[in-house]
Structure 1
């Protein structure tokens, strides 16, 4: 079955969805994950979207168990479809997980990965991400974010400004976040910003570690 192009929140009939950005960024993200992820254990991916990333990463890191999740039923269907096609034993069934929820359906993880959620969600989702991840992760364990961010004392790319405008036009509570605001929240929830990596297309990868 051919997957149709899709962005989170869209409806449609197809089981498998295709987010075009995944094919463009997955190898660059995987190269950084190779430096930041543990050698073994469970990686919880929050807001897995179409499910294309988790299949790619599960193939690249066979020593890790990958736990995809998403709050959108259409996304959960797509994740399951891509996972079934991939046929990899180290991908768990996708969990219905809302980052903003007070309880998550998982007791522990060795790493948490969240790609392109922080700007396409209400701030409460980012608060929940750090609050609940602090309960799941042991000291030193990584919480890894990928996406566009504004930074003080750094020039803002015109493409990120335009993207922020388009996000806020769709939903006033969405938008490109300031790295400093996210880090302040992270520190309040028991994390420290360990590293920032520049990524293609004016994106960043952020490595937070549990204190």
Structure 2
């Protein structure tokens, strides 16, 4: 949907552009009846779009406390059985939910949070994923230490100028965190605008 002039909900144009390709990846890797925990839900647009097209999907949003009102404004558009109230979560400090999920998803977060935050995400997965559960991450990555495009290099430089703790992550370094967390990479999908959707799975 396009945001109307009177609509005061937070709005991310990137969500409108990437939600279709992301949904295709989710459908490829997840079962029809699935419960997903999302880290750093942003506006909540992804959750509403995915749930509206996936009747057996239950999607649990989370984000920093100050972002929850904006997310709730979007979730009010959907079915509360599919889209329960968003949970407060700071990846570095918690609190992590005391339950397990079929999958954990996050989009455009690893290059924004500090590297310690990325490490905290993988530590937080302990006890969050069911056996054979999956972690699905969307966003830009460096591959083998190299940017995949000049625009990615420029984007990384702009992030570093804002905050030196930000920046595109080396996929191989993230793979190492996944391995230590008991996950193995199952797929990497090339996505629009030089992004990637990477799927890791918990080993039995």
TM-score over 0.5 for the pair: yes
Does the CA contact (< 8 Å) of 1:3 and 1:16 recur in 2? no
SS of the residue corresponding to residue 85 of structure 1 reads coil
Residues 149 and 179 in structure 1, CA contact (< 8 A), matched pair in contact too: yes
Q: Equivalent residue for 1:54?
A: 47
| 1:37 CA drift (Å) | 1.6
Aligned 1:1-211 pairs, distance under 5 A: 16-73=9-66, 75-87=67-79, 89-101=81-93, 103-152=95-144, 156-211=148-203
Cα distance in 2 for residues equivalent to 1:206 and 1:149: 10
- For the 8 Å contact 2:59–2:84, the answer to whether it is kept is yes
Q: Distance in 2 between matches of 1:154 and 1:174?
A: 16
Mapped partners of 1:145, 1:168: distance in 2:
21
Q: CA deviation at 1:186?
A: 0.8
How much does 1:151 deviate? 0.2
> How many matched pairs?
200
State the Cα distance separating 1:3 from its structure 2 match: 7.0
Per the TM alignment, residue 32 of structure 1 is displaced from its structure 2 partner at its CA by 0.8
Please report the TM-score for the alignment, with normalisation by the length of structure 1. Answer: 0.88
Runs of at least 5 residues in structure 2 that lack an aligned partner in the other structure: none
Q: 2: CA distance between counterparts of 1:105 and 1:135?
A: 9
TM-superposed deviation, 1:86: 3.4
Residue 126 of structure 1: CA displacement? 1.1
Query: Which residues of structure 1 form unaligned runs of 5+?
Result: 5-13
1:45, distance to aligned residue in structure 2 (A): 0.6
